[in-house]
Chain A
Amino acid sequence: MVRMEKPAQSVDPAESFTFSPTVPQAQVATQPVNEPIFQAVANDPVVTKTAVPVPSILSMVDDIPSTDKHGVMAEMMGCEANYLCAFPYKEGGEQVRSELTGRYTSEVAGAQYFNQEALEFAKTRGVDPGKLPDALKGKGFDGESAALIKQELSGQVKAYFASAQGSTNPLKEKLSQQECDRFIDLIGECQAEGSLGKVSAGDVYRLASSNLNLLALQDRAAAEITFGEHGVRHLVGHNIMVCEKLSDQLQAQGVNVSAKDRLILHQAMLVHDMGYAVDNCRGDMAKNGIKTQDSGHPLLAGRYVRERLQNDGDPLNAVFSPEDMRLMHRCVMFHDMDSQGKSGVKLNMTAQPNELERQQNLESITRLADNSHALDDKVSDILYRHPAALKTMRQIKTAGEVGDQGKVDQLRQGLRDDLDARSDLSADDKAALKMAVGQMTAGEYEFSARRLVGGKPDYAIDPEGNITITLRESPIHKQIAEVSGQEPLKLLAGYMQDLSGVRPQIDRNTRQVEAGNLRFELKPSDQLDDYQKAVAGVMLDDQQFRGWAVRDADLGKTQKALSSLIDGAGQLNDQQLRQQAAVFLDSVDAPRAQLLQALQSYRGEVVSERRDALHATT
């Protein structure tokens, strides 16, 4: 239930955003008024303070888009309120809602705090995103200044991704440079199509530079964890690329996708996963490992977008209108599920989409792009940059299951030592990846290994708006399953469900599946890509490791069955216990206590055998 106080009647548009040093201090309020709209009262959020009028019936704001700034901010707030109150949490229920409320209402999740953190991060790389180069001062945005901006950004890309004080990552350097160039080109295209007002070169520079800064910060935060990838490879290498591909496909079918539409998609994608990087998520993951910090993360990014709109001095407002920001906010808020908590993909194929159709198309493109990135190249940085870590994770899985914490620690330390020995990683890369090593647990392995069953999706849109997604099955997925104990088909079915909302029945002979308005085609691939080659090299070519993994999987099953009986024995009568114990014991003609002791002893033997075999392989 939401209780709402009487909303404020006006807003000071120049409040908390301080990202740009060019904003005169006098315009910046000393006390930010864009405080979160909820108090962190567990399970009973209360609207306490608003910077703009808030509609009294939240459910109505979805239906009545406003194009003026105050109206848009009100709609954004309503959208966030609805999300927090009605979002169908899949796991964790009220506990998750309570934790999310706490994070959402925290000062550290605000734009002001986050942007300050980003600026400090930039300083460690020798970059000052807010300092306007002299050559751009007083200039309008045109072809000449665009070239200068690209040149400036190129130096910053190097500082972030090709320098001793930053990261040394050629792939991310290339992707970031491509994104900077494309973003500037798109602004030029917006200017040409008339969707951009008068904008200065300084504003464009400050926006693009701050975007690069945010990208690099999110990338650093993503490298510290084992929970998939939310850095440059995800944001740019997959999501933005897919947005462009889908936009191209729509245009090829005669549907208008403007340069501004594309720019909105770029900007939305650059910030959509900021919920992972905000201090109270990032810090909690580093301290406590992965729990439920990802639940509801779009809400935190939504708050960020809204608070930037709120600040007239933010360069975002020089390039994007309030209506653009409204669409961007929706793409961010609903990047994984629509406002009804469903996968919601609907492409409108009219030549000139109306307001609602345009909104649906942009949201659908966002969800298609984001939800289709779940397979091999979504693995975390530690696995992507150091594939041998997968082997260590498999060993940690067994060490954890047999309760050998000393071995877990030893395996982690060995991996840290291997990272330290890498000459191609910068000190900062090593520091981030070693943080991720600290999070490796028994359960972590399965989550990561199952991503390796396939990847590299391709997309085709037909004239009716039906979408075909072609997935290339990894030629090594069976072998990965061999050592990981994973079922590839189950993962693929889940992947299709996330995208379409329908869980299809597939088997090993399935080559094509219809699910909702999506069609999936599975294309076996005979060739390994570079990453798969690396995985195959470190894991699958090692015969001794494979032999150990197969035997260990068998023993693990016996251990699990024994534990199931021992744990459930309290609910069985003597006859039932005797009957079940006979599965594992040669003789069951003994009192209850003795039987249980024998079962525990046998489980101990199985655990010892697994432990000894693990020690023999490492």
Chain B
Amino acid sequence: MQRLDQWLAGYQLPAPTDPLYSIELANLEVLRSFYALLALTGDESDPVSAVRRHLPDFPDFPLSGSATGPLVALGVARARGPVVDLKRQLLESLNAEQAAEYLVINEQSLV
């Protein structure tokens, strides 16, 4: 998924010695998982456009820096919210091939 790689290219992790490293890494995995869903189910050129296809008025979120920023803005890892609902819809809409692709991507190492 070349597009997914491009979407994630701007995000960075702190140094491995930083106490935030493992936390940010886990966050990046959550973000990557959601972006993979968006990429598999649409053909938008960036994640903001991909979200706005489903939620037209959704505000901008950072496309670079720490993964924590977009996760806070999206709220995709929370218990409830519009993007959580969107994630569930997208998960349920995946056909067998997309679902397989999604999880294969999901499990690729980030480091």
Contact = CB atoms under 8 A, between A and B. Distances in A.
Given A557-B33, A564-B22, A488 B104 contact: yes
A122 B99 CA distance: 50
B3 to A, nearest CB: 14
B20 A576 contact: yes
Given A561-B77, A568-B23, A572-B20, A554 B104 contact: no
Given A481-B100, A565-B26, A568-B23, A580 B107 contact: no
Contacts, number: 93
Contacts of B30: 557-558, 561, 583
A554 B99 contact: no
B40 interface: no
Interface string A585-598: 11000000000000
Contacts of A602: 79
Which of B30, B68, B81 is most buried by chain A, counting CB atoms within 10 A of its CB? B30
A6 interface: no
Contacts of B108: 487, 489-490
Interface string A186-202: 00000000000000000
Contacts of A527: none
Interface string B97-108: 101111110111
Interface string A574-613: 0010011011111000000000000000100100000000
Given A557-B106, A580-B68, A565 B23 contact: yes
B79 A605 contact: yes
A550 interface: yes
Contact of A482 (B20, B25, B33, B99): B99
Nearest to A476: B100
Interface residues of A, number: 34
Interface in B69-97: 71-72, 75, 77-79, 81, 87, 91, 94, 96-97
B37 to A, nearest CB: 9
A553 B103 CA distance: 8
A198 to B, nearest CB: 60
A449 to B, nearest CB: 11
Contacts of B29: 557, 560-561
A585 B94 contact: no
A485 B26 contact: no
A523 B20 CA distance: 42
Interface in A288-302: none
A478 interface: yes
B30 to A, nearest CB: 5
Contacts of B103: 481-482, 485, 550, 553
B20 to A, nearest CB: 7
A561 B27 contact: yes
B19 A572 contact: yes
B87 to A, nearest CB: 8
Residue of B27, B29, B103 ringed by the most chain A CB atoms within 10 A: B103
B79 A583 contact: no
A478 B101 contact: yes
Contacts of A211: none
A487 B79 contact: no
A585 B78 contact: yes
A485 B106 contact: yes
B33 A583 contact: no
B6 interface: no
Interface in A463-491: 478-479, 481-482, 485-490
B94 to A, nearest CB: 7
A115 to B, nearest CB: 46
A571 interface: yes
Contacts of B101: 478
Contacts of A481: 100, 103-104, 107
Contacts of A489: 108
A182 interface: no
Interface string B7-31: 0000000000001101101110110
A583 B72 contact: yes
A553 B27 CA distance: 15
A543 to B, nearest CB: 9
A554 B33 contact: yes
A586 B106 contact: no
Contacts of A551: 91
Contacts of B96: 479, 482, 546
A490 B29 CA distance: 17
A195 B104 CA distance: 53
B101 to A, nearest CB: 7
Nearest to A577: B23
B104 A487 contact: yes
A586 B104 contact: no
Given A478-B104, A557-B29, A584 B77 contact: yes
Contacts of A488: 104
A565 B109 CA distance: 20
A26 to B, nearest CB: 64
Nearest to A479: B100
Lowest 7 A-B CB distances belong to which pairs?
A571-B19, A478-B100, A561-B26, A564-B26, A487-B107, A482-B100, A583-B71
10 contacts: A481-B100, A482-B100, A487-B109, A546-B96, A557-B29, A561-B29, A572-B20, A582-B68, A583-B30, A602-B79
Given A481-B104, A487-B109, A488-B104, 15 more contacts: A478-B104, A485-B103, A486-B107, A487-B107, A490-B109, A550-B103, A551-B91, A558-B30, A564-B22, A565-B26, A568-B19, A572-B20, A583-B27, A583-B30, A585-B78
